[in-house]
Structures are given as structure tokens and as C-alpha cells.
Amino acid sequence: MVKTNPTQAESKAHAHARKLILEAKHHDPFSFLGIHETHENGQYVQRSFLPDAKSVSLKLNGAWVTLEKTHNHGLYEVVSNTAIPSPCLLKVETESGSYETHDPYSFSATLTQDELYLYGEGRLKLAYKTLGAHIMTVQGVTGVRFAVWAPNAERVSVIGNFNNWDGRVHSMRSHGSSGVWDIFIPNLTTSDLYKFEMRNRHTGAVIVKTDPYGFEFEQRPGTSAKISTCHHEWKDQKWMEARKHCDWLHAPFNCYEVHLGSWQLNAKGHFLTYRELAKSLVSHVAAMGYTHVELMPISEHPLAESWGYQTTGYFGVTNRFGTPDDLRYMIDAFHQANIGVILDWVPGHFPKDDWALARYDGTALYEHEDPRLGEHQDWGTYIFNYGRKEVSNFLISNAHFWLNEFHIDGLRVDAVASMLYLDYSRKAGEWLPNKYGGRENLDAIEFFKQLNIMVGEDFSGALTIAEESTAWPMVSRPVYLGGLGFNMKWNMGWMNDTLAYIENDPVHRRYHHDKLTFGQIYAYSENFVLPFSHDEVVHGKHSLLDKMPGDAWQKFANLRLLTTYQMTMPGKKLNFMGNEIGQGREWNVNSSIDWHLLNETYPGHEWHKGIQQTHTDLNHLYKTLPALHTLDFEHQGFEWIDCHDTEQSIVSYIRRGLDSNFVIIVLNFTPVLRTQYRIGVPQAGAYHEIFNSDATCYGGSNQGNAGDLNTEAIAWMHHGQSISITLPPLAGIVLQLR
């Protein structure tokens, strides 16, 4: 080793660089720390900053060489006449012992120009494999590569339990105009916690943030990200292969919406884990006959009362129920039971927590600066800036992440209407028009199109479903035809009309009959899902059972009738947990579904069992009868027999399948038994009753039609043949030709 005599200019530059390193202000720490060749005299210098070290040695030519301490706060340096190997191995002596490590500043950059270019263009679909924290081997050394986007930072550092949360120690490499920073730190483990500390280049303010691309986080109330890796071996190959070839347009789709934290608690009142849910929830959904389960948001979120809709870790699996591998295990179990998994996804807004995405590098980075564009007034959150390519890339990459890494079968996209309209829930003067003077959010529209194109191209058989509450056209039509590209759309109009109708006392329903029939005017303009979701049973809206009018018997009869109507009308289906047992109280995020209602011995408990059996039988009927699902989206699958019997509040209709098979549905929305009620039928023969919501097993009065119903050559309701039936009170029946 040798010492050199630097020039006065060199000394001044080095002194300034040392000062910036010690003050954690250096924009380019790799230009000073690590290995550098001094071109004037052909020597090499290695500099390290280790504030907790007592001494530092470098492995060179098989021997340990001691570095000179050039500053009391932990700067060490050695100069060599021979090349110093990269990466260089250091031995560090501290008060508590010694350890060996490779110097992070002696590794070459691992981000490629292609990655940085595509990210800047908004086209890096696998951004989650570039940004964030990733265990990898670089130049023969295993460690973690950290990368983060913070274009308005003067300096960015990784801080964690491995460096005493000291922002001076692991300052990151800047990748220029891309705004991306990275550093490779060897010898870290999956038990290590980390955040990013950054200094804003405009204000000098120091900010500490969690990782936007973090895969795992510490337990609440902590907010640090956790180094994570995947060890799960998937066993759902049969399901995934079949999904590629599924004709989803004509397949049954009946979804059970679940909030994992309140579906069921254990005996101690604690959450069930993902692995426990892989047994209990999967078996429940399978036994009930649902084809899919929809998970309310499971991305990491700090507040349970947000139900997961205010996400702080978009790539992080909430640890309330276990690890990311535990979640994979649960999804795998669903697939092995032939049940698809839909994820409730929230790209519309994010919370203002100061440790998460909000003003990430000290500026409005993921959101708009102007609150007329960037703040969601209803929810007190920020709105994503979809026009910024790195932001749309973040969201599309997040969708790719869930579909790819967790084998999710589809995304239900929350609050689409709030994203499409610039004036959503805003008064005049509180919003800014687009460049054409309109209210449409052009950037959000383009985002949806690119999202749906990506899903269609990369994940055959996966679905996207829009929760969109307005009359925006062609939401579920392909992008190449001018649509937004979603596969399906929630039919909020049908839901609102149906509930508004059935909440009326039966004596008044005759005056609102159009609410039952109006939906058929637009039923095939989109690929609709008929939802009774969590939004209908919270915030004082009452449970579905409690919405029903009348005494206890009538409430349960109305609920069975409502379920029959939903399950036999055109459109795919969704029901929120608790609906299937007729829970009497509203959903409470902090308590379990009232499963005890199925086990009580007081009079009336059998009605809850009856509701569950109604759902089970209708689910299986919907799934196994092609007439009830193959033409859900096409007008050929539905025909009114009679939609004009307002005085008796009765509707009757035909559902047809692709193979021309059909069933007849008749619904009586009054508590009056109708005998010898005649309906026209499309074909002569003997009909029999295959479902009756008034059956004893459902808690009904057991009125109905035993044996064959033979047609008569009596023209009725535009049909040449007709049958005379018994129509139970507040009930629906399904008839099939033998």
C-alpha cells in the first residue's frame, strides 16, 4: 500500500465529497465510495463509510490490508499500486465483534438501460421485478438489490435494522433522468426490515418512506417493508391449463364475495390464517356451489375499517392472515377445488399516510399537484396521475404481479366511475376539464385500455370486471371495437331497482312493477354481473334480510324469492358473505358472520338453514343447467312470458341455452297463494317443478306443483300451448320440460 500526495484541487474536491457523504447529501455516492482508479498515477483507491467500525481491512492478494481511517465518523481509505478486486471483501471490527462483507459500492450496476427505458415509457410490465427489493446473486455474491423511483430526490438511501436506520450508510446510485435509484447490499436476509430515506432536492427536507413495490411488511403499527421471497410450489397446473381454454362468455360465473378478516374468527376471536382458510373457506365455497370467490382487498393496509380499500402496500400481501406463500397456498387450494379467485383491486385512489405513496419524494409524484385533479373528496384520498407513465406503469405492473405471482383469475376493479369522470362527486369550479373541454378523464380511459389489453394478452382466461355505476358506453366491449376492454361490468342499476322494488310492502309493489322489468331494456348492452355486494349491507342500509318487509316468515320468504330472481335472471352472479344464511344484522368488519344462526334451537333458526339451502340448491342449479348460464349476455337467452301482471305482482319468463334447452321461471311477489294460474309455454308436453323456494326444506309453506303439468292446446300469452299451475306465496318456481 502507498500514500499519495493529492493536489490542492484534489484535496478540496475530496473534502467536499467527504462532507456530502457524512451529511448524507451526496447525489452520486458511487463516484466517491468504492473502488476507483487514479488515472494520473495508475493507482487504485478503495473508500468505505462504516460509522460503527473500529477498524476495517481489505482482502487483497490473499492478505488482509488495513484501511486508514480518514474521518472520525467512519470514513476509511486505502490506496494500492495493483488493481483491487471487484467486489472487494472487507473485514469490519466493531465494539460487538467482527464480520466480513463485500463493499456495496464495489458492485457494478444491475439495472439495464432497457429496463430504465421501458419504465420511463410506461411499458415495463414486470416493473415489480426491477423496482423494490430482490434477493439475487451479483458477481458471485448473494444479497439484495434495492431500487426505487424518486426523481425529485437529491439523495436516496436504504435504511434498515441492518444499518441502524442510518441514512448515511447505504446511499443509492442515481440513474439520471429516469429518476430511478439502486444499490446492491450483500448478506441480507428475509428477516431484515427496510425503508427508503430521501432528501428532496428542492426543499432539502428529509423524508422516510416505505417501498411502493414492497412484497411484505412488518406487523402493524410498524410500516417498514420486509425482504421477501417465494418458496411455494404450485399444484394447480390442471386448473391453470383449463382456464386458458374456458369459454367464459358462456360458462357459469357465480361469485362469493368475502372479507377474510370477518368471514370467521377462531375460538379466541382472532383472524383465521390463510392456511386455515384454505380448509374452512374453500370447503364452504365448494359445498355451496359457487364457481368463484372474490376477495376484498388483501394488499397491505393499516386500517381495518377501510376494508382494504385504502392501500399503502400495493404489492404487499396483508400479514393479518400470514405470509405471501400462505396466500399462495390458499389460492392453490381454491384452484384444486375448481374454484376461481377474483381479487378486488383498487387503482382509483390511495391514502394520505405520510410514510406511503403520498408526496413520495416530497412532491406530488403518484398523484396530481392540483387538488382539483389529485384529491378524492369523498374518501379523503389522493387520485393517481394516470397520465404519468411511471404511475400507470406502477398500476399495470401491480395487476400483472397479482395475476402472475399469485395465479389470480381476475380483477374486480373498484370505483371505475370515479376514475372516468373528472367531475366525479365535484361541484362546478372544483374540477378541471380535459384538453377538449370535456369531463372525461382521458388518461384514465387510456389506462383502462392498456390494462385490459395486457391482461388479455398475457393471462389467457383471466377476467377483468368493472364496478362502474354510470351509463358509460361499452365498458365491457373490446378495445379494438372502441370499448374499455373489461370482460364484465357490475349492473348497479339492476341492483338498485331490484332492492327498491322488494323493500316495498307487497300491497304496494303493483305500483313499482316497472322496476322488475326495466332492466331488460339495457340488459345486453354490457356483459353484466348481478351483484348483492358488501356495499348493500353496511352504513345503515341493513342486511338483505332486514330490508325485506313483513313479519319474520315473510322476511325469509321474500329473501328466498329475491335470491331466486337473481339466480334465474340473465347475468353472472355475485353475493356477499352472510347473504347465504340470511344474517339479520349489518356486516361488521370487526366481527364474524353470525354462523351461530345455523345452530340455534329457538323457533325460526330453521329459516336461516333454509336460506342457506336455497342458495346451495340455486347455485348448483345455475351451474348445472345450461339454460341458466350459457346465454347470460345474449338476448336469445331470455324471453318474457308475461311481464304485465302488475295487479298480482307476478312475472314469468323463459331462459334458454345454446342447445335450445329451456326452463320456465314464475315469481309471485305477493303473500297470496295463486291456484290455477295459467301461463303460456313454448312447447307441448309434460312440465315438472325442479325448484320451489316455498318448499319445506327452505322453511316455506310447501305449496306447489307435484307431478306432471301437462300442456293444453289453449293459446295463452302469445303461445299456442299453456299450463295451469299453483303459485306459492312470496315464492318462485322453476319448471322444466320432461
Q: Which residues are catalytic?
A: 414, 467
Give the Cα separation of 672 and 691 in Å (integer).
19
Burial zone of 678 (CB within 10 Å; 0-12 exposed, 13-18 middle, 19+ buried): middle
Strand partners, 733: 666, 692
709-to-252, 706, 724 alpha-carbon distances in Å? 29, 8, 7
Give the Cα separation of 280 and 526 in Å (integer).
35
Give the Cα separation of 136 and 684 in Å (integer).
71
Sign of the CA dihedral 283, 289, 291, 293? negative
Q: How many CB atoms lie within 10 A of CB 509?
A: 20
> Cα 111 vs. chain centroid, distance in angstroms?
28
Give the Cα separation of 103 and 107 in Å (integer).
8
SS3 call for 728: coil
**Residue type at 662 in one-letter notation:** F
Contacts of 412 (CB under 8 A, 6+ apart): 294, 342, 343, 344, 345, 465, 467
Question: Is the distance from CB of 346 to CB of 298 less than 8 angstroms?
Answer: no
Burial zone of 525 (CB within 10 Å; 0-12 exposed, 13-18 middle, 19+ buried): middle
Residue 78: phi, psi to the nearest 5?
Answer: -140, 145
Strands 528-532 and 572-576: parallel
> Cα 460 vs. chain centroid, distance in angstroms?
18
**Residue type at 128 in one-letter notation:** Y
Q: Per the structure block, which three cell numbers stand in for 679?
A: 301461463
What secondary structure does DSSP assign to 404-420, as a single string?
HHS---EEEETTHHHHH
**Residue type at 465 in one-letter notation:** I
SS3 call for 640: strand
Q: Where are the beta strands (DSSP E) in 589-730?
A: 638-645, 650-656, 662-668, 674-681, 686-692, 709-710, 721-727
Q: Give the 3-state secondary structure of 163-198.
A: CCCCCCCCECEECHHHCEEEEEEECCCCCCEEEEEE
Strand partners, 47: 34, 77
Contacts of 559 (CB under 8 A, 6+ apart): 544, 545, 548, 582, 611
The answer, yes or no, to whether the previous bond of 221 is cis (omega within 30 of 0) is yes
